[in-house]
Amino acid sequence: MTKAPPSDPWMGRAMPRREDDRLLRGQGRFVDDLSPPDTLHLAFLRSPFAAGEITQLDVAEAREAPGVIAVFTAADLAGLGVSAVNPLLPDVPPVPMQPLAAGRVAAAGQAVAAIVAQSEAAALAALDLILLDVTESPCDYPSHPAHWGQRLEGFSASVVAQVSHALVAPFALEPRAVLAVPEAEGLTVWLAVQTPQRARDDLAAILALPKDRLRVVAPDVGGAFGGKASLMPEDVVTSFAAMTLGRPVKWRATRSEEFLAATQGRGAESSAEMGLAADGRATGLRAKFGFPLGHWMPHSALAPVRNAGRILPGPYAIPVDVQASVALTEGPAVNIYRGAGRPEAAILMERLMDRAAQWSGLDPLEIRRRNLAPAPQGPPVPDRPCSANFSALLDRLEAETDYTALRQAQSDRRAAGQVCGLGLALYVEPCGQGWETARISLLPDGRFQALTGSSAQGQGRETAMAQIAADALGVDPARIIVSQGDSAEMPEAIGALASRSTAIWGTAMWKAASALRAKAQALAGGAPDWVMLAKTLAEGGDTLTAAHRHMAEAEAWASGAVLAEVSIDAETGVIGLDRVTWVDDAGQIINPLLVAGQLIGGAAQGIGTALMERIVRDNGQLLTGSLMDYAVPRAADMPPIRLFSQPTISPANPLGVKGVGEAGCIGVPAAILNAVMDALPPDTPDLSFPLTSEQVWRALTGAKP
């Protein structure tokens, strides 16, 4: 038993909330809602030039502008530590961030100077007084290889596929924001981030602060999708400014800044050759991936290429030879984005399966059945599914879609002159590794406070957490108060990414709550009366607490099967996404409504990636810097989505759960690409993402670019 934890001295206790109805009532609290007394505002001068040497940077006039408190350049930040990069590929040297460009800019949009002023308007106005000139010269970056599987020789018979992925923006509803507040003993940083404790560790190392003097708090976060997973240059500069000036300093990104300088996702080039036997069974797979990194590497920069390499051959039993390369590029950092390498692997694999069906004369459903991996048996093994029944997924999809009738209807429509297609995709999804922490306490009124090292960005995670804790305690979930996102409350944690949260933090919370119940039973001599026990403990000034740090011994893997139906306007190439049917294996389901929400939300982003989203630069200059130029899905772009659950219980954790958050970005784009290719002439070369109407029209008409 321990004393009750202290309350937050400034903003109230850290994040006790259930966001389900609070946010709908307009009671959210985001970083930009926080403005302590004497807050200063920061704005960045970003290079309008592409890569080149800085030949002039004169900030003297800006320093004298009305309302300006300070102007910082790279020289002022000299001596700061370096940002951490997760060494997922040991042979790839890390390239940490430069908080402000030093001597050279590596991309248009890179921050060169920062102005701190009494108001945001004053800071922005003073940016125009800085003189910057750059002599542009391109960089020549080397590539670094990686390999998975075994070396395979040429095949006697084979099919090939090639898919290019556009760079895309994570595009959260809430742009990034940071508020740094000097405290007597250190610094409190309010940050829109998925990983508060990791951000604390990285920021402490950069600023040379002891970790116990730096507190990072993630309040409400309006979406992230990987774009808020790693510490960013703006976080460092804002925190440095607050420490230097001894006053709170706040920065918030504009939407155009997010397009210009936030991390991006995807961008890979992929190709593969798959050997085939006469009966359609694959004899081997040789694949190549090339991933861009941008001009610096955030913490998780190498996760996409690692995931793509280790996932192949997905749900199939095929020997693989996977080669990959990564290289710096002249642009913003490329980091994890919902799926992070999983979509690239699944899309390439599923294109090969459809090519194999064409080559063999088999139906796409049958070619997949002939190549399925058997259901996993025994303890989980690294980098392969922990549990699955791929055959059952296909059987369920076939039954729910009345697949044979769909194919006949497609034939009839084509005979009537319509352009239409059906696309299948079968996928697997690794759902994160590592550890997570949880602590739960009995409060004096008989309720419970559940503290988690994870954090939420709008997924309804507090509800699931309360359900898990309540189930272990044997109480109503309404009695659980969930707190999260504060490194002072839960000093050690990793955070929310990689679809790992329910499997890993959920297990940590379940074990902590189970331990609390065991303590209570020992005190009560049997089943506890929680209210009476809480009253007794409160009278003595104590509370009952249990904590757990759970290390996942194995990785949970989800899977699923998707069928997409498309119609194409032959005169314009416009794609109509008629319907998506989806059978998902997410293991044990904690809350069906939250799972459905995650699946449909992921599908929306998958549809955006497949059909419309694309970052475009010309000679280093951004052409898609606003929603006038960068298309995201609207409600009218969403098709009917039929969801079906076909779970196998995961042996990788005691809850039996798997991830769901990224599945829609994995299976849905693969199915859409296959459906569009199915609608086009059989000899059409593989199209690239996004599948624009122009691309499709040219494929239909043979028109050259």
User: pLDDT, tens digit, for every residue of 186-241?
Assistant: 999 999 988 888 999 999 999 999 999 999 998 888 888 888 889 999 999 999 99
Of 209, 237, 261, the residue at which a domain comes to its end is 261
Examine the domain organization and report whether 363 and 451 are in the same domain. no
Of 530, 551, 572, the residue at which a domain comes to its end is 551
Examine the domain organization and report whether 534 and 467 are in the same domain. yes
Decide if pLDDT at 3 tops 60. no
> What CATH number did the domain enclosing 181 receive?
3.90.1170.50
- Residue 526 token pair: 């049997």
Closest CA to 483 of 446, 509, 516, 504: 509
Examine the domain organization and report whether 427 and 540 are in the same domain. no
| d(C-alpha 691, C-alpha 271), whole Å | 17
Decide if pLDDT at 20 tops 60. no
Beta-ladder partners of 482: 450
Tell me the DSSP string of 143-165: EEEEEEE------SSEEEEEEE-
Q: Are strands 435-442 and 544-551 parallel, antiparallel or unpaired?
A: antiparallel
Q: What is the mean pLDDT of the chain?
A: 91
Examine the domain organization and report whether 569 and 456 are in the same domain. no
Predicted local distance difference test score (pLDDT) of residue 525 = 87
Examine the domain organization and report whether 441 and 427 are in the same domain. no
| d(C-alpha 155, C-alpha 274), whole Å | 8
Which residues, 6+ apart, have CB-to-CB distance to 377 below 8 Å? Answer: none
- Residue 315 token pair: 């749900």
First to last CA, the chain: 72
**Using an 8 Å Cβ cutoff, are 64 and 126 in contact?**
no
**Using an 8 Å Cβ cutoff, are 104 and 52 in contact?**
yes
Examine the domain organization and report whether 690 and 573 are in the same domain. yes
The count of structural domains within the chain is 3
Could you give phi then psi for residue 313, rounded to 5 degrees? -90, 25
Q: Are strands 249-252 and 40-46 parallel, antiparallel or unpaired?
A: parallel
Decide if pLDDT at 9 tops 60. no
Render pLDDT for 108-134 as a digit per residue (tens, 0 to 9).
Answer: 999 999 999 999 999 999 999 999 999
599 lies in some domain: yes
- Please name the helix (run of DSSP H) or strand (run of DSSP E) that holds residue 584, with its range, or none: strand 575-585
Examine the domain organization and report whether 253 and 295 are in the same domain. no
Closest CA to 204 of 229, 170, 239: 239
- Please name the helix (run of DSSP H) or strand (run of DSSP E) that holds residue 551, with its range, or none: strand 544-551
Q: What is the 3-state secondary structure (H, E, C) of 314-371?
A: CCECCCEEEEEEEECCCCCCECCCCCCCHHHHHHHHHHHHHHHHHHHCCCHHHHHHHC
688 lies in some domain: yes
Tell me the DSSP string of 505-572: IHHHHHHHHHHHHHHHHHHHTSS--HHHHHHHHHHTT-BEEEEEEEEPSS--EEEEEEEEEEEE-TTT
| d(C-alpha 444, C-alpha 379), whole Å | 43
372 lies in some domain: yes
**Using an 8 Å Cβ cutoff, are 321 and 280 in contact?**
no
Decide if pLDDT at 15 tops 60. no
- Residue 68 token pair: 């300006």
% of the chain surpassing 90 pLDDT: 77
What is the CB-side half-sphere exposure of residue 44 using CA atoms within 13 A?
29
Q: What is the pTM of this model?
A: 0.92
Instruction: Look at the block and give the residue holding tokens 């989505």.
Output: 641
R_g of the chain, CA atoms, integer Å: 26
Examine the domain organization and report whether 85 and 213 are in the same domain. yes
**Using an 8 Å Cβ cutoff, are 662 and 606 in contact?**
no
253 lies in some domain: yes
- Please name the helix (run of DSSP H) or strand (run of DSSP E) that holds residue 545, with its range, or none: strand 544-551
| d(C-alpha 96, C-alpha 81), whole Å | 10
Domain containing residue 52: 34-138+172-224+228-261
Render pLDDT for 54-92 as a digit per residue (tens, 0 to 9).
Answer: 999 999 999 999 999 999 999 999 999 999 999 999 999
- Residue 450 token pair: 């559940």
- Residue 78 token pair: 């000299």
Decide if pLDDT at 10 tops 50. no
User: What confidence category does residue 276 fall into, taking pLDDT thresholds of 50, 70 and 90?
Assistant: very high
Predicted local distance difference test score (pLDDT) of residue 12 = 30
Helix extents (H) in 416-495:
461-473
Examine the domain organization and report whether 269 and 329 are in the same domain. yes
Q: Phi/psi zone of residue 526: left (φ > 0), alpha (ψ -120 to 50 degrees), beta?
A: left
157 lies in some domain: no
| d(C-alpha 582, C-alpha 460), whole Å | 22
Q: Tell me which DSSP letter residue 129 carries.
A: T
Render pLDDT for 405-448 as a digit per residue (tens, 0 to 9).
Answer: 999 999 999 999 999 999 999 999 998 888 888 999 999 999 99
**Using an 8 Å Cβ cutoff, are 676 and 696 in contact?**
yes
> What CATH number did the domain enclosing 601 receive?
3.30.365.10
Render pLDDT for 516-561 as a digit per residue (tens, 0 to 9).
Answer: 999 999 998 888 998 999 999 988 888 899 999 988 888 999 999 9
144 lies in some domain: no
130 lies in some domain: yes
Examine the domain organization and report whether 334 and 467 are in the same domain. no
477 lies in some domain: yes
What is the CB-side half-sphere exposure of residue 362 using CA atoms within 13 A?
20
| d(C-alpha 141, C-alpha 305), whole Å | 17
**Using an 8 Å Cβ cutoff, are 689 and 165 in contact?**
yes
**Using an 8 Å Cβ cutoff, are 282 and 275 in contact?**
yes
Examine the domain organization and report whether 291 and 238 are in the same domain. no
Decide if pLDDT at 583 tops 80. yes
Q: Tell me which DSSP letter residue 587 carries.
A: B
Of 551, 584, 617, the residue at which a domain comes to its end is 551
> Does the bond joining 313 to the residue before it have cis omega, within 30 degrees of 0?
yes
Predicted local distance difference test score (pLDDT) of residue 21 = 60
Strands lying side by side in the sheet with 575-585: 419-430, 557-568, 575-585, 641-645
Examine the domain organization and report whether 570 and 607 are in the same domain. yes
Helix extents (H) in 108-154:
120-127
